[in-house]
Amino acid sequence: MAAAQSHSDHPTAPLISVRDIYKTYYIGEVEVPAVRGISFDIQRGELTAIMGPSGSGKSTMMHVLGALDRADRGSYKLDGIEITTLSKRRLADLRNEKIGFVFQSFNLLSRTTVLDNVALPLTYAGVPRRERRARAAEMLDRVGLGDRKSHHSNQLSGGQQQRVAIARALVTEPVLLLADEPTGNLDSRTGNEIMALLQELNRSAGITIILVTHEPEIADFARRVIAFRDGLIETDRTVEKQQDAAALLSA
* Tens-digit pLDDT profile for residues 124-171: 888 999 999 999 999 999 999 999 999 998 999 999 999 999 999 999
Distance in angstroms (rounded) separating the CA atoms of residues 88 and 229: 30
The contacts of residue 188 (CB under 8 Å, 6+ apart) are none
pLDDT at 241: 84
Say what the pTM is.
0.91
Q: Please provide the average confidence, as pLDDT, over all residues in the chain.
A: 92
Distance in angstroms (rounded) separating the CA atoms of residues 63 and 95: 11
Q: Is residue 141 part of a domain?
A: yes
Q: Is 246 helix (H, G, I), strand (E, B) or coil?
A: helix
Q: Is residue 11 part of a domain?
A: no
Q: Is residue 69 part of a domain?
A: yes
pLDDT at 4: 44
Show pLDDT as tens, one digit a residue, over the chain (251 residues): 444 444 445 557 899 999 999 999 998 899 999 999 999 999 999 999 999 999 999 999 999 999 999 999 999 999 999 999 999 999 999 998 999 999 988 899 988 999 999 999 998 888 999 999 999 999 999 999 999 999 998 999 999 999 999 999 999 999 999 999 999 989 999 999 999 999 999 999 999 999 999 999 999 999 999 999 999 999 999 988 888 999 988 87
Q: Output the domain CATH number for residue 46.
A: 3.40.50.300
Instruction: Evaluate the CA torsion angle 196, 163, 50, 55 in order and state its sign.
Output: negative
Q: Is residue 6 part of a domain?
A: no
> Which candidate, 179, 147, 164, places its Cα nearest to that of 112?
164
pLDDT at 11: 57
Q: Is residue 105 part of a domain?
A: yes
Q: Is residue 146 part of a domain?
A: yes
Instruction: Write out the H or E segment, with its range, that includes residue 58.
Output: helix 58-65
Q: How many domains does the chain fold into?
A: 1
Q: Is residue 204 part of a domain?
A: yes
pLDDT at 242: 87
pLDDT at 6: 47
Give me the domain span that covers residue 99.
16-250
Q: Is residue 4 part of a domain?
A: no
